[in-house]
Amino acid sequence: MRNNQGMTAQVTRTDILDVAREQVLERGVPLTHPQIVEVMRTGDDRLQDLLALAHEVRMKYQGPSVEVEGIVSLKTGGCPEDCHFCSQSGQFTSPVRSVWLNVPELVRAAKQTAATGASEFCIVAAVRGPDDTLMEQMREGVAAIRAAVDINVAASLGMLSREQVDDLVDMGVHRYNHNLEAGRSYFPNVVTTHSFDERWDTCLMVKESGMELCCGGLVGMGETIEQRAELAAQLGELEPHEVPLNFLNPRPGTPFGDLPPMETGDALRTIAAFRLALPRTILRYAGGRELTLGDLGTRDGLLGGINAVIVGNYLTTLGRDPREDLALLDELEMPIKALNETF
């Protein structure tokens, strides 16, 4: 794990924001796990200072651009896994039914996304891992999108074999999403049908393949502050190109369906802490921000470390009107990242 033992000792003697300023902003060294915990415990009276620092770090190492992405579910519902936050598991009493999107509708969705100015379009399937039918659907769909739409195509299809990783590279998929979902110690409380290490292995294969790795998780699932910080630290160890940060949106019929939404202040502290743990990584607003942050919190997060957004609808739920997000970015003078721009 990226670490700085010398700084860890100082945490107990000096203000954590002063430490983070010197360590992360000035030297580019990510926070350690104990330091992330301390940042996540920042009081409400220091929250604006924390967000301002995280924003400085984002601006120094990532710049003002914001990467915009749209996502679509190619195969919805009927998943054999038991991720406790997910309405698409076939093991719960969620009302979500299984449905497949055809290739013309997939291309239409990519065009809708590109029309917002987005540079990324991610195709997602609710599966443990892709079978031959899904891989063939991907092959046809990615080719059709690339022929018709000027947009980068990403994918999220669960756990992969080495051969499937290579196939996705051959198709032209430039980024692959596979979340850790939770820190290692809390993961068994979230998923029991596969292990943290299985997820980790797919992430490593994706990185080795040359595809960009998109890997994040969810917060607000009943984890402790230490476990939430652990997710950030383990993501720092993995060094993905992008981290999507989801806030639990409790889904009816799932084991986490009755959990309360995360407090806005805690969500903002989490955003800033993740930025300080991952200074050079794209940090994306993913699901749940409408419920957890609302309009004002969304703005605060963009000024507190976030530099990427998912626009439009999600996989099974609805998002804000993209025009509202784009107007906010314009107001904040944060240009949309161009198609071939790199951070």
Partner 1 sequence: MLDGDAVGPVARTSAPGAWCGQCGEALDAGEHARCARRAELEPPRFCVHCRRRMKVQVTPGAWTATCVQHGTVEQPTWG
Structure tokens at 277: 């743990």
Task: Tell me the C-alpha distance between 223 and 200, whole Å.
Answer: 20
Residue pair 187/228 in contact (Cβ under 8 Å)? The answer is no
CB of 185 to partner 1, least distance (A): 31
Give the chain's length: 343
Q: Which whole-number Å values give the CA distances from 9 to 32, 62, 237, in the listed order?
A: 11, 28, 20
Nearer to partner 1, 138 or 231 (CB): 138
Residue with Cβ nearer partner 1 (48 or 98): 98
Nearer of residues 29 and 144 to partner 1, judged by Cβ = 144
Closest approach, Cβ 252 to partner 1, in A, equals 7
Q: Which is nearer to partner 1, 24 or 248 (CB)?
A: 248
**Shortest spacing between CB 152 and partner 1, in angstroms:** 15
Provide the β-strand partners of residue 246.
218
* CB of 16 vs partner 1, minimal distance in Å: 35
State the residues that interact with partner 1 by CB under 8 A: 70-73, 76, 95-99, 101, 105, 108-109, 112-113, 115-116, 249, 252, 290-291, 311-319, 321-323
Secondary structure element (H or E) that encloses residue 175, with its range = strand 175-177
CA distances from 342 to 97, 326, 329 (A): 38, 20, 18
Handedness of CA 314, 320, 326, 328 (dihedral sign): negative
CB 247, CB 219: distance < 8 Å: yes
Of 51 and 310, the one with the shorter C-beta distance to partner 1 is 310
Cβ atoms of residues 154 and 120 within 8 Å: yes
Report in angstroms how near the CB of residue 290 gets to partner 1 at its nearest: 6
* Least separation in angstroms between CB 54 and partner 1: 27
Nearer to partner 1, 172 or 252 (CB): 252
Angle formed at CA 2 by CA 173 and CA 192, multiple of 5 degrees: 60
CB of 99 to partner 1, least distance (A): 5
Token representation of residue 101: 């999107």
* Smaller CB separation from partner 1, 210 or 296: 296
Q: Write the single-letter amino acid at 143.
A: A
d(C-alpha 229, C-alpha 197), whole Å: 18
